[in-house]
Structure 1
Amino acid sequence: MQNTNQNWTPYMQSMRVPEPMYPVMDMTDQQIEEMYPRIYFIIFPVVSYHCDMLDAEHGEMYIPSNEHYKDIVDNIHERVSKDIEDNKLQGIDVKQWTRGGLLRDLASIIFLRELAQRRRYPRRRRYPYDGYGRGPGYGYGPGYWY
């Protein structure tokens, strides 16, 4: 039986990272955050402030109750809706965001993401491993044929 694809070898496949993720892997976190919409940069400082206050008052591992969570999101919504009405968000329809539904949901999502991100271990960039505990470059050191 003859292999019809002469150029393909099993060593050409990626081990851990799917191919569509390669362009994102090279980007820094700052470059990825620059692609966020403008509304994020209005909401995130308020959310970050509330998370800092929550950490200062209750400790880093505190998880708010459902009522406390709703109060925080309501407070974020009030502060952000004032900023949106004051700035008029060049090019964004203010009526779309200030009704309460979409802006409140977006503030809630960003708040929960920030809480979850603060309560996990710091992210480390990991190198792909071959699944057997050997790191990259295994078998290419002194004493091996290239």
Structure 2
Amino acid sequence: MEDYAYRNYMQMMNVPNQYSPMMEMPQDQLQTMFPRCYHVIMPEVARMCDRMCAQYGPMFNPSRQMLDSMVDDIDNRVGADVDMDYQDFDGCENRQFGGGRRRFRRDLISILLLRSLLNRRPPHHPWGYGY
């Protein structure tokens, strides 16, 4: 009996690069494609995560109030720099995002902050650690 899952996996591994041009692109080139606001916000998010992990450990779970406080702190530091990038955003703020650029910026900060906190956790293995 043939193992179809294994064969399909092996065929997938031999797919020519013409089907996945992003795999050929160097990581540095991909990093430069992030918008400027990411390069402004992300260092502040990393600093906040470093501080929280140092204080509470890598398995830190912030409460909603604590998360809002961290987002406020980051938003106050980056707000002016990020607003410069979105001069044309005012026309669509009430129609699409319901809260304008500040709400959108705070949502982006929340997403980056939670993603960063999750990525700092040690990998979970069902068989336990140390194997």
After TM superposition, is the score higher than 0.5? yes
- Runs of 4+ more than 6 Å apart: 16-21
The whole-number CA distance in structure 2 between the counterparts of 1:54 and 1:119 is 12
Amino acid in the other structure paired with 1:93: Q
Residue pairs, 1:8-87, within 5 angstroms:
13-15=11-13, 22-84=20-82
How far off its partner does 1:102 sit? 0.7
Tell me: CA distance 1:65–1:28, structure 2 relative to 1, closer, same or farther (3 Å): farther
* 1:112 maps onto 2:120 in alignment: no
Structure 1 unpaired stretches of 5+: 1-9, 122-146
2:49–2:116 contact (8 Å) kept in structure 1: yes
Q: Do the aligned partners of 1:84 and 1:94 also contact (CA within 8 Å) in 2?
A: no
Counterpart amino acid of 1:119?
A: R
Q: Tell me the secondary structure at the aligned position of residue 20 of structure 2.
A: helix
Superposition RMSD on alpha carbons, in Å? 3.1
Unaligned runs of 5+ in 2: 1-7, 94-99, 124-131
Helix, strand or coil at the partner of 1:100? helix
C-alpha change, 1:24 and 1:73, in structure 2 (3 Å) is same
Aligned to 1:101: 103
Alignment length (residue pairs)? 107
Q: Which has the larger radius of gyration?
A: 1
CA distance in structure 2 between the aligned counterparts of 1:21 and 1:117, rounded to whole angstroms: 29
What is the percent sequence identity of the aligned residues?
Answer: 37
